[in-house]
Amino acid sequence: MTETCYAKGKKVILVTSQIKNGKWLCTFSIPEFSYLDGGLQGQDPSKGHKTEWDARSNAFQRAKLFLDRSQDMTQGHPLEKT
């Protein structure tokens, strides 16, 4: 299932899928940045989410975190406290 949301004025596309074990995965993309999230890349897919809602919520939170970092970089703020 594909869903379009907005965070910080940017379009976020969520793509949710259910895997064989019944768990849910969700990735996101942000067209303005040509960014495609790897989702659970590098992790065991069995660690997916129990519900579709949980998977989408987690992906949306990752998208907002990406946008926060991008905003910090464009405004010249360091990503780490010194």
Does 82 map to a domain?
A: no
Three-state secondary structure call for residue 49: strand
Per the CB < 8 A criterion, the answer to whether 68 and 15 are in contact is no
pLDDT digits (tens, 9 = 90+) for 15-74: 999 988 899 999 999 998 888 776 655 455 667 899 999 999 999 999 999 999 887 666
Q: Where are the beta strands (DSSP E) in the chain?
A: 2-7, 10-18, 24-30, 35-36
Does 80 map to a domain?
A: no
Does 81 map to a domain?
A: no
Residue 7 has pLDDT above 60, yes or no: yes
Q: Which residue has the higher pLDDT, 45 or 12?
A: 12
Q: How many domains does the chain have?
A: 1
Q: What angle do CA 13, 45, 25 make, to 5 degrees?
A: 25
What's the whole-model pTM score?
Answer: 0.76
* Nearest to 56, CA basis, from 20, 3, 11: 3
